[in-house]
A and B are shown apart, each in its own frame.
Chain A
Amino acid sequence: MVPQLVTVRYRRSDGRRRRLYVPVVPVVLALSPLLLLAVSAGLVACSATRISPMGALRGTGQLLWALPGTRFEIDDGRTAFLISVR
């Protein structure tokens, strides 16, 4: 399943908390012109390094599809950081 929501939460050393919700699909749609450029650059890089472009696209897709459920949390003293992909 494609990632739908990325939550970023952090607490700075001064104790202030910040929470950021990133809805993936709307953001991807908004950035689609840039993404097209990035994909084109990736394909050129693949052909330059003799990596199969289709394999790279498939691999990247599999990585994206496997991302939901990932959670990365660090709490060190007064600083805390959390990234959660749903």
Chain B
Amino acid sequence: MNEQRRQVLQMLSEGKITADEAERLIDVLDREKPEPTPGAAPRSKSRPKYLRVMVDAADGSGGDDGASRVDIRIPLQLLRAGVRLTSLLPPQALTKVNDELNRSGVPIDLTELKPQHLEDLIDQLDEVTVDVDDPDAKVQVFCE
């Protein structure tokens, strides 16, 4: 029995509050979230493992049926491994890519993009949900 509940019962026994009031107070205490313990895991929900992209289009361009469907499932671990590979790019290559991007009117400095940033991006992907509902197509991007 926790301390607050004991105090409510103590007030009830001393006649400071009525039984109804005690019941209401105990209900309120029950509704309160328990405080997380320092050693406990932040989330009990299991972490998603896959990035899923689903597209359902009613008026596809190919075939007589007219419908087209795309269903892609990519392990998030695969994205992480891909990101780690990008860290192998030599600085000279990044400089050349930057020059080309500048020439094309996209002034993005890829040398500023650190592997750690991309890792963080992948880590946050599990929270991503994109749901597009169109009369002709339905697009869903989510993690599972």
Contacts and interface: CB of A to CB of B under 8 A. Distances in A.
A binds B: yes
Contacts, number: 83
Interface residues of B, number: 31
For chain A, which range describes its interface: under 10, 10 to 19, 20 to 34, or 35 or more residues? 20 to 34
> What 5 A-B pairs come out closest when comparing CB atoms?
A77-B63, A62-B81, A77-B62, A66-B77, A66-B78
A69 B72 CA distance: 11
B33 to A, nearest CB: 35
Interface of B: 49-50, 60-75, 77-78, 80-82, 84-85, 87-90, 92-93
B30 to A, nearest CB: 42
A75 B68 CA distance: 5
B73 A69 contact: yes
Contact of B70 (A13, A49, A63, A74): A74
A70 B78 contact: yes
Interface SS of chain A: mixed
Given A66-B75, A70-B74, A50 B90 contact: yes
B62 A76 contact: yes
A78 B88 contact: no
A6 to B, nearest CB: 14
B84 A62 contact: yes
A64 to B, nearest CB: 9
